[in-house]
Amino acid sequence: MARSDYLFTSESVSEGHPDKVSDRISDEVVDIYLGALPEARVACETLCTTNRVVIAGEVRGPESITTEQIVEAARAAIKDIGYEQEGFHWEKADVAVYLHAQSAHIAQGVDASGNKDEGAGDQGIMFGYACRETPSLMPAPLYYSHKILERLAQVRHSGEQPTLAPDAKSQVTVRYAGGKPVGVTSIVLSTQHTDENQTSRDIRDIVEPYIRETLPEGWISDETVWHVNPTGSFVIGGPDGDCGLTGRKIIVDTYGGAAPHGGGAFSGKDPTKVDRSAAYAARYLAKNVVAADLADRATIQLSYAIGVADPLSIYVDLHGTGNVDEAKLEKVLGEVMSLSPRGIRTKLNLNRPIYARTSAYGHFGRDPDGDGGFTWEKTDLVDALKSALS
């Protein structure tokens, strides 16, 4: 029997966290290539440290894309995040690019040819999850951890709070009663700041009003424990304080630990890589299952083999909250949506430069954009699911 009364914690990191700077730059590279050629292939990794950025990986796309173009995109991303510090500056950092052609052996397994459909870009397992805890059908601890940092980024960028700097982390512990989130028992917030004379108390005075307005009314009580900049001064931060790498925040990117993770990172990969596209598809299916009132919680697993188009398996767990047979639902999901790499990209319209925006504050639980970003957050499969199960 599932527990109904417990505490659960999730964390988030800001766009200025070193790993997120790396994710952003890698996804900018993906967008450059897909913007020039929708069928481009990209597997890009970025390392960021003190005034140095290293971009490496494999690509296949137009030769018109130059190293200079990639360098300028990296600098623009760093500037947009807000880094103009002595140890990490958008204009002064040394940016090195080591991108080379995609392996022909990988290409021969992935590309469509003759009667062979396009295969998955790698083997692997991907999970999607949805629940009724928040309006976006995401777990509450992660959802509010993201929202806190998004709000602080807004007031930093606007100039309302000029001493806040780009690097930040949040952590929220939520109390569940009767299986539902009802309050927050602890809040952890560490944010980089520019004034060396500011104390932890000073920073709490700045951030607490924004945190309170972000969380649901009544969730913070006199018993809620606060840890704001608990180590004291946090002036040296970002890639100058800690090396950043693409793909190190996969739990932040997904469900905050409330659901399984297949292990593959998203950023820096074009959508032929099922690590990314099939994880988006699994979230899309799970969200639509919950939105269709088929369950209050849904976990969906997909599995693939490199060079093989169709998934090897589809697994559904409704956690005892469903009103439909899970085995039947597994069969229906494969019927209402093609889950081959090509089918996923076509249904969700993924072959476009929409990925830099995903690199911070989670790939899931976001509102679909007017220009086609976050299509996997739509609930337009509800009617098809209900019809297929009726």
| 301 annotated as belonging to a binding site for a ligand | no
| 79 annotated as belonging to a binding site for a ligand | no
C-alpha–C-alpha distance, residues 82 and 268, integer Å: 21
C-alpha–C-alpha distance, residues 290 and 296, integer Å: 6
Characterize 285-321 residue by residue with b for buried, 16 or more Cβ atoms within 10 angstroms of its Cβ, and e for exposed: bbbbbbbbebbbbbbbbbbbbebbbbbeebbbbbeeb
Compute how many other C-beta atoms are within 10 angstroms of the C-beta atom of residue 135: 9
| 205 annotated as belonging to a binding site for a ligand | no
| Token pair for 368 | 């679909």
| 180 annotated as belonging to a binding site for a ligand | no
| 20 annotated as belonging to a binding site for a ligand | no
| 60 annotated as belonging to a binding site for a ligand | no
| 45 annotated as belonging to a binding site for a ligand | yes
SS3 54: strand
| 242 annotated as belonging to a binding site for a ligand | yes
| 102 annotated as belonging to a binding site for a ligand | yes
CA nearest neighbour of 195 among 151, 238, 165, 229: 165
Pairing of strands 297-304, 313-317: antiparallel
| 15 annotated as belonging to a binding site for a ligand | no
| 111 annotated as belonging to a binding site for a ligand | no
C-alpha–C-alpha distance, residues 201 and 185, integer Å: 20
| 160 annotated as belonging to a binding site for a ligand | no
Q: Is 195 exposed, middle or buried (0-12, 13-18, 19+ CB in 10 A)?
A: middle
User: What are the binding residues for Mg(2+)?
Assistant: 19
Which residues are documented as binding site for K(+)? 45
* Residues tagged in the binding site annotation: 17, 19, 45, 58, 102, 167-169, 242, 248-249, 265, 269, 273
**Known binding-site positions for L-methionine:** 58, 102, 242, 273
Could you list the residues known to form a binding site for ATP, using ranges: 17, 167-169, 242, 248-249, 265, 269
